[in-house]
Amino acid sequence: MEIKQVFKNVGTLLLFLQITTGSIEQYRWYPGLGYYKLYINLRSWQEAERMCAADNGHLAIINSESESVVLKQLLSEVTVVPGTDSETNDYALIGFHDLYVEGEYLTVLGSLLNTTGYNKWHEGNPDNGLGVEDCGGIHRNSGKLVDLSCETIYPFICEIEIK
């Protein structure tokens, strides 16, 4: 095989890997806010955060009303996420939790949730449902916050911040 052909094949392989592994190219840029990607692969919260970290990002943190609108918009583009049921389809995991102290909500970057600039809860939340809801999410219709089980698998939204 000619050397040129080898390089071409390596290039094609790299492109394939970028597409299949969820590279930054699949993130969407929103001016003034950052890069976001809705993963429709269903994951538990901690597994989802690991996948965002592998993209050099983190589970999305909402800092404003307009950022909540962006996340809502991403969700609205996938009306039914494959593998979800009528309940889990309503939510996507984002970057906050109360894993350390019940009722004390922290972002994945360690700040208190009520200092992020967006702290609107969806009706009936947080309710620490069944005593196990310590992981954060967003409701697809309201764009507001919910507490969810950390073990249940959901779609999730990663964010790469503007540097």
Q: Which residues bind Ca ion (CB under 5 A)?
A: 98, 125, 127-129, 133-134, 147
Q: How far is CA 70 from CA 12, 32, 108, in A?
A: 33, 12, 19
Query: CB of 140: closest distance to Ca ion in angstroms?
Result: 14
The residues pairing with 160 across neighbouring beta strands, listed in sequence order, are 35
Please say which residue, 90 or 147, places its beta carbon nearer to Ca ion. 147
Which of 6/132 has CB closer to Ca ion?
A: 132
Rounded to the nearest 5 degrees, what angle is found at the Cα of 129, between the Cα atoms of 120 and 111? 45
Q: In the bound complex, what is the minimum distance in angstroms from residue 20's beta carbon to Ca ion?
A: 34
Of 36 and 105, nearer to Ca ion (C-beta) is 105
Q: Which is nearer to Ca ion, 117 or 129 (CB)?
A: 129
- Residue 139 CB, shortest distance to Ca ion, in Å, is 10
Minimum distance of Ca ion from residue 127's CB (angstroms): 5
Contact between 94 and 156 under an 8 Å Cβ cutoff? The reply is yes
DSSP string covering 76-102: HT-SS-TT--TTGGGEEEEEEE-SSST
